Structure 1
Amino acid sequence: MAERLETESRKLLGRLRDAMAGDVEGQARLNRITHLIADSMGCEVCSIYLFRDEDTLELCATEGLNPDAVHMTRMKLGEGLVGMVARNRRVVNTPDAPQARGFRYMPETGEEIFSSFLGVPVQRLGEALGVLVVQSKIARKFSADEVYALEVVAMVLAEMTELGAFVGDNAAMSARHSQPAMFRGTVAQEGAAEGHVWLHEPRVVVTNPIADDPARELERLQDAVEQLRVGVDKMLEIAGSHDKDQRQVLEAYRMFANSKGWMRRMEEDIANGLSAEAAVEKEQSVARARMGQVTDNYLRERLSDLDDLSNRLLRILTGQGADTGAEMPADPILIARNIGPAELLEYGRGLRGIVLEEGSVGSHAAIVARALAIPLVIHAQRVTTEALNGDHIMVDGEQGIVHLRPDDTVVTAFRDKIAMLAAAQERYASIRDLPAETVDGAVLSLQMNAGLMADLPSLPSSGAEGVGLFRTELQFLVRNQMPRRSELVALYARVLDAAGGKPVIFRTLDIGSDKVLPYMKPNDEPNPALGWRAIRVGLDKPGIMRMQLQALIRAANGRPLTVMFPFVAQLEEYRAARKLMDKTLAAEARLGHALPEHIEVGAMLETPSLAFAPHKFFEEVDFLSIGGNDLKQFFFAADRENERVRRRYDTLNVSFLSFIERIVERCAETDTPVSFCGEDAGRPVEAMCFAAIGLRRLSMRPASIGPVKSLLRRTDLQEVRKVIADARHRGEMSVRPAVMDWLRTRRG
């Protein structure tokens, strides 16, 4: 390689490095670079367009176009050939630009006399930063070597932009990672938090994109790849033969780590002038760009594997990463693309907040965040590429807004909001031990949802009368193999001990849909939410359900026990599950284990079909819990993970409220206790309306009990019932406007 003749790309990069090494900064440096590229490629024009915001490109430097157009010419994403390159992140190479599809004439630039056009995206790890363009008067298509050379230069420009090499007085070229930024996401766990960024996967910054010695860079790459391969082999050894699924993932890792094509492309990048780190990152950017265009899940997973391997390789080459000894701030807010429940539990309650680029409101991470009462915002796009460890950050889990490096105005307003929330919590603490009794004498039982031992300390401090839902699946989700029965017995016993005699309703294993056990082979279902999940899994695999029921009975050790089965859709499913419970009780008695002094077995009503079950079902079931989250999505046929549709449907819609009321009436006919469990139970206005239609038990997250109780204690349910009835009579779609007007009138 050392004897290989210098390529045009390497020559250009060498000149570019010299240009970057000078004392000039900002605009002067950009101007010098455009002149250098145009001269090296024998073109009359070279222009650099950078994003001013996520939808607008701005001409920031040019050689050959009208200099007065700099910082004046702007275009939207997808507008003109430049906008097409930015939107599609693909090269546009045409000998006749004015006749090319999508061309837009920009009269202020004077570009009409230039026929040939070559534009390449300036991007870093899938994040679009701008577009690099060369043009010439002669009508010709640029060669593959010229295209490659310009792509390599664009990659270096991306790294230089990342490092703030073009910082100047103009706002379009302000230093990255230094300006305030705001991200709008989706609320997955409410609350507000202020702190400093802690990146789950620290960002690797390439500081030396251009190589001085290609032979040395090739040697560094080969050494790092060998180290990577050894690491993957060691992981395979540890996985052994018992964990088949994990081994399959690692085999795919090893396949990529030994890929000759991947290695060859990186070697070519080094030969053309890039450093080992820059070569890895260039191929990683290509993989991420492809990932965004691929719809096939298998291919996306494989590209994701390559992305992860690239990150590992970059950390080996740069020495950057989680193992560098960086110290987590005292007030960490975790930033990640996504995170699993086990990893999140390792961080524990020390986190102030969590912000994810991906995730879902029903994901494992969201469940753990709720259990730990940590504000969580998901779908905050681009936050991992913008945030750096130690950045000041504020998370508004009420609105789904994240403020990164906020200015003083935002800081003041946000801290005022936190102070107001704290003051409200103090008010709620003052009524903690008082009953949730309304003005007209109705008394409600407010209970809390839980899923971890970490939840139980909240039981006395929240004012909850018990645990209305203990999710047992979290202990199955956070491990790589099925928990042993003895482990479950010990856990459930500790839960009952911590409850201090207050009732605990254990929901049996609710897996499937978005909750897939890492050690259970996933089913390729077109719609998992309507597929093999919850009680369906338990009845098809009775050994798992029997083991869990045995653990619950033994944990009770003679104490009262309350169990409910999830996602029951018809009477036969409940009867089959109840029969399994009776058989398990009989078997435990034969083995000499103490049986519960009293046992109640209920069901979660999460499917509309169960609301229309035979009268016999309501007589046989000991109690019902309305699972509002699932029931609402099935009632409206609106996936609660789909932001485009889930917000269109209101819990206080007259149809849905009437449906809930009919369930309450059917339960009243048979004296069957019924509760409402879900996010809506913890929203004060919704809780008030549920109480008005007859519900007397609500189960919610611990932090919601105070606000709900506060409103209920100031409410006359007779008046609310009349407001709801009048809204129905007027034919209104939702009772919310009428209820909110009534509340405002009372406050006024």
Structure 2
Amino acid sequence: MPGQTDSASRRLLGRLRGALAEPGAGQERLDRITTIIAEQMGTDVCSIYLFRDPDTLELCATEGLKREAVHQTRLRVGEGLVGRVAKTAQPINTGNAPQERGFRYMPETGEEVLSSFLGVPIQRLGERLGVLVVQSREGRQYSEDEVYALEVVAMVLAEMTELGAFIGEGEALAALHQRPVMFHGTVGQEGVAVGHAWLHEPRVVVTNPIADDPEKELARLGEAVDRLRVTVDEMLSSAPLGDKDQLQVLEAYRMFANSRGWKRRMEEDIARGLSAEAAVEKEQSVARARMQTVPDPYLRERLHDLDDLSNRLLRILTGQGERTGAERPADPILIARNIGPGELLEYGRALKGIVLEEGSVGSHAAIVARAFAIPLVLQASRITTEALNGDPILLDGEQGIVHLRPEETVAAAFRDKMAMQAKAQKRYAAIRKEPAITLCGQRIALHMNAGLMAELPSLESSGAEGVGLFRTELQFLVRSKVPRRSELAALYARVIDASDGKRVAFRTLDIGSDKVLSYMKPQEEPNPALGWRAIRVGLDRPGMMRMQLQALIRAANGRPLTVMFPFVAQLEEFRAARDHLLRELDREERLGRVLPERVDIGAMLETPSMAFAPRQFFEEADFISIGGNDLKQFFFAADRENERVRRRYDTLNVSFLTFLEQIVRRCDETETPLSFCGEDAGRPVEALCLAAIGFRALSMRPASIGPVKHLLRKSDLSEARAVIDAARATGAQSVRPAVMDWLRRRGE
């Protein structure tokens, strides 16, 4: 019986292959497919629904329903049985469809009351593309073999859909990877870039999902698995003997590569009619589906290993990862679903830009991209599917737009934009060594943010007066275990050396929320941004804090040291953290070590509570740095990682500016040095307004210092303040329109 089922499955796939090979428009192909499936499976109806947009399914072909309903009948995800399949990505198999939860009768399709229903998702590697349905009048449940056969057909349809088999009027299968495409994403790091696509994990295009000769496919799979095992063994033998973490990962690789069950499942898929590549991809889809549901992080990591092995095996089978044309271009723009900080650091400054399908503005990748000043666009959905290595690409990190294979008119406009920016950069370079003194005589100190040694040369090239924020967590994030005190001390010493006497404000470890260490037990929290993070972790884990403070003291080696504690929410937290530092200074002195020449101890004001803190906070802090990114999100109760809300609230909102002015006044009363640190400090218009309400120090990414300095040197702060006050008096929600109008009248 299994042999007969396998034979029927192969016959169905064989007929589909013939239908896809025949010439004709995309709609003709879909119509032929539904007819073949209905005939082969002996059902009254076969229908194909494809996603019109992320929330809507459209009936695109049918055998057995009214042809007039094609491209007219639409369902929301979750609506009816078809919508349920789309939402859950799980098959529904029932012999009594009208009694099923969520059943919906669609009279516009001419549908009779059909008892049996079998719907399976059309998806590729976890990406939903549609739903394939068969229905019959008789009340029966479809057998496991029939469900399997329809799932295999749905997988082939997914592959063909991605290859463009059903688009346009008779377009070639590869058309999907030839047309210009524009992607709208989220700005992760500003800047523009022109280059060629380089996929972090190149997509393997499976062009032959249906096998001609199962025996030949089995032989191809066996040879490819043998080559994979040899490759993994070579990786294991060349791994550093002392690196236990790497050895463990490679041992897991070898375990999966030698798994008989994995290979047997792929062989069974081939016996049912799939090619070797399609069989590998089918098992890879199963692994990815499991990854989304397994809560245990260790098991998820092991399934990720299997996913990675599948990619390697696919590249061996297709040769697509071994072509000489796969060499990295000279102007690479990295494309990936997501990427960790360690992997991104390996690419370094070689990248012209980065485009990710996932990620967030606070992710590790975004932090590293900002550190290297590499333009970054996030949430560019489906770009890893569309792009191939070597495709020309334009990245606009200021608008969050990516042009893949752009038309010449778009490319020309982009080149003009880059030329204008290059011209502006020459103007900024001319004032690099000049101070940021406004027309009214106020001097604004402009500092840079950093987190890597590689950024320190920007102190000189940008004209920054110092480092207003040095993020110390990157050295913890990119490692598989806690760094040693001696390693940190050496690194911090190099940072101080590279600053050449300029002030460097070291922010102590700011982990938690979106910055999770791989070697710390993950904390399940309903709202991590408001949870166990930053100074809260340091005070609860004093050993790690003491180790870092000792490293900073030793790194100073007699030179001035500036330390600030992040995410302080009440006076006692600041006092407790400061006491830790004072105790370590006493301890180092008792040990006979050289103490810093001077120690400035400050705090980052990132929670609204500290604006209302007792006066003693402002008196006891040697300086205060406003963490603008966090403070704004907490002030407006708008998660800065949430695109649906973060752009609704403006830094130049009257309420927020009034709130900031209160902090400025309190610091003036106690003569506490105050700075504003964050993305907004690096935006010229925002920087001008911050200076107008009293800030005399701003800290930003190095690339922003030139544009900010240029505008400040051409502005009178008293005039800007008058514009702000006038807009506030009118009851305006934001002063931005008034300030922009004033700047336009001045020709800025």
**TM-score exceeds 0.5:** yes
Local SS of the residue matching 1:329: coil
Amino acid at match of 1:464: A
Residues 223-622 of structure 1 mapped to structure 2, 5 A cutoff: 265-289=265-289, 304=304, 307-321=307-321, 326-622=326-622
Tell me if the contact between 2:680 and 2:687 (Cα under 8 Å) persists in the aligned partners.
yes
Count of aligned pairs? 744
- How far residue 685 of structure 1 moved from its aligned partner, in angstroms, is 1.8
User: Given that residues 211 and 270 in structure 1 are in contact (C-alpha distance below 8 angstroms), is that contact kept between their aligned partners in structure 2?
Assistant: yes
Cα distance in 2 for partners of 1:608, 1:586 equals: 33
Shift of 1:269: 2.3
The 1:112/1:208 distance shift into structure 2, 3 A limit, reads same
1:192-203 to 2 correspondences below 5 Å: 192-203=192-203
Q: Residues 170 and 111 of structure 1: is their aligned pair in 2 closer, same or farther, counting only changes over 3 Å?
A: farther
CA deviation string 1:553-584 (max 9, x = no partner): 33333322222222223333333333333333
Contact 1:348/1:372, CA 8 A, preserved across alignment: yes
Q: Name the residue aligned to 2:127.
A: 127
Q: Which moved more, 1:642-651 or 1:682-691?
A: 642-651
CA distance in 1, matches of 2:243, 2:429: 51
Deviation at 1:317, TM superposition (A): 4.3
Q: Deviations over 1:132-177 (max 9, x none)?
A: 4445666765444333222212222322344455565368988222
Q: Which moved more, 1:393-402 or 1:169-178?
A: 169-178
| Secondary structure of the corresponding residue to residue 175 of structure 1 | helix
Pairing 1:681–2:681 present: yes
Structure 1: distance between partners of 2:679 and 2:475: 22
Comparing 186-195 with 369-378, which one deviates more in the overlay?
186-195
* Code of the aligned partner of 2:378: I
Q: Provide closer, same or farther for how the CA distance between residues 451 and 14 of structure 1 changes in structure 2, counting only shifts above 3 A.
A: same
Query: CA offset at residue 346 of structure 1?
Result: 0.5
How many angstroms does 1:684 deviate by? 1.5
Say whether the 8 Å CA contact 1:123–1:155 is kept in structure 2. yes
- Alpha-carbon spacing, 1:525–1:133, altered in 2? closer, same or farther (3 Å): closer
Equivalent position of 1:707 in the other structure: 707
* Mapped contact 1:198–1:333 kept (Cα < 8 A): yes
Residues 473 and 720 of structure 1: is their aligned pair in 2 closer, same or farther, counting only changes over 3 Å? same
- Distance in structure 2 (CA, Å) of the matches to 1:81 and 1:250: 43
Gapped regions of structure 2 (runs ≥ 5): none
TM-score by length of 2: 0.88
The RMSD of aligned alpha carbons is 3.8
Residue type of the alignment partner of 2:488: L
SS of aligned partner of 2:10: helix
* Amino acid corresponding to residue 126 of structure 1 in structure 2: G
Q: 1:690 to 1:133 in 2, by over 3 A?
A: same
Match of 2:724 in 1: 724
Q: Give runs of aligned pairs for residues 153-168 of structure 1, distance below 5 A.
A: 153-165=153-165
The amino acid of 1:561's aligned partner reads: L
Whole-Å separation in 1 of the counterparts to 2:521 and 2:741: 52
Contact 1:81–1:103 (CA under 8 A) maintained in structure 2: no
- Give, in whole Å, the separation in 1 of the partners of 2:86 and 2:573: 54
How do 1:141-180 and structure 2 match up within 5 A?
142-165=142-165, 169=169, 175-180=175-180
Equivalent position amino acid for 1:682 in 2? G
Letter in 2 for 1:188: G
Comparing 706-715 with 172-181, greater Cα deviation is found at 172-181
Give secondary structure in 2 for the equivalent of 1:16. Answer: helix
| Shift in Å, 1:665 | 1.2
3-state DSSP of counterpart to 1:145: helix
d(CA) in 1 for partners of 2:524 and 2:64? 56
Stretch of structure 1 that moved more, 185-194 or 202-211: 202-211
Question: Match for 1:104: what amino acid?
Answer: M
Question: Does 1:102 pair with 2:109?
Answer: no
Does the aligned pair in 1 maintain the 2:25–2:171 contact within 8 Å?
Answer: no
2:629 aligned residue: 629
CA distance in structure 1 between the partners assigned to 2:527 and 2:179 by the alignment:
42
Aligned-partner residue type, residue 391 of structure 2: D
Question: Which moves more between the two structures, 184-193 or 17-26?
Answer: 17-26
Q: Is the 8 A contact 1:80 1:104 kept in 2?
A: no
Structure 2 counterpart of 1:189, one-letter code? Q
Output one character per residue of 1:647-691: Cα deviation in whole Å (capped at 9) or x when no partner: 232222223222221111111112111111111111122211211
- In structure 2, what is the equivalent of residue 733 of structure 1? 733
Shift of 1:256: 6.8
What amino acid does structure 2 have at the position aligned with 1:333?
A: I
**Aligned residue in 2 for 1:181:** 181
The CA distance in 2 between the partners of 1:747 and 1:564, in whole Å, is 40
Give the aligned partner of residue 75 of structure 1.
74
C-alpha spacing 1:180/1:96, structure 2 compared with 1 (3 Å) = farther
Which residue does 2:692 correspond to in 1? Answer: 692
Task: In structure 1, give the amino acid aligned to 2:74.
Answer: M
Change in CA separation of 1:80 and 1:239 when aligned onto 2, cut-off 3 Å: farther
Kindly state the Cα deviation for residue 316 of structure 1 after the two structures are TM-superposed: 4.8
Shift in alpha-carbon separation, 1:430–1:74, aligned structure 2, 3 A: farther
Deviates more, 1:357-366 or 1:485-494: 485-494
CA distance in 1, matches of 2:44, 2:134: 8
Distance 1:632 1:161 in 2: 44
Q: Say if 1:271 and 1:709 are closer, same or farther in 2 by CA, change over 3 A.
A: same
Q: Distance in 1 between matches of 2:214 and 2:265?
A: 14
CA distance in 2, matches of 1:465, 1:46: 70
In the alignment, the residues of structure 1 paired with residue 115 and residue 539 of structure 2 have an alpha-carbon distance, to the nearest angstrom, of: 70
Which runs of 5 or more structure 1 residues have no equivalent in the other structure?
A: none
Aligned 8 A contact 1:221 1:276 in 2: yes
Distance 1:256 1:428, change over 3 A: same
Residues 1:591 and 1:17: Cα distance change in structure 2 (over 3 Å): same
- The Cα of 1:492 is off from its aligned counterpart by 2.2
Residue 644 of structure 2: aligned partner: 644
Change (3 A) 1:575 1:176: same
Q: Match of 2:152, as an amino acid?
A: V
Q: Which has the higher mean CA deviation after the structures are superposed, 47-56 or 657-666?
A: 47-56
Provide Cα deviations, 1:102-146, integer angstroms capped at 9, x if missing partner.
343446xx6669886654433222233344444566676544433
Alpha-carbon displacement from aligned partner over 1:55-93 (angstroms, at most 9, x marks no partner): 6666666556677877x6463654776666555544455
- Contact 1:201/1:321 (<8 A) preserved: no
Cα distance in 1 for partners of 2:90, 2:610 equals 52
- Tell me which moved more, 342-351 or 167-176: 167-176
Deviations 1:311-361 (A, max 9, x none): 344345445448988201111111111111111010011111111111121
Q: Match for 1:529: what amino acid?
A: A
Contact 1:75 1:83 in 2 (8 A): no
Offset at residue 279 of structure 1 (A): 2.1
Change (3 A) 1:163 1:345: same
Q: Is the 8 Å Cα contact of residues 94 and 117 (structure 1) preserved in structure 2?
A: yes
CA spacing shift, 1:210–1:465, aligned 2, 3 Å: same
Question: For 2:84 and 2:525, how far apart are their aligned partners in 1?
Answer: 36
CA contact (8 A) 1:26 1:173 kept: no
Aligned residue identity for 1:519: Y
Change (3 A) 1:83 1:581: closer
Shift of 1:421: 2.1
Name 1:39's counterpart in structure 2: 39
Q: Distance in 2 between matches of 1:138 and 1:3?
A: 26
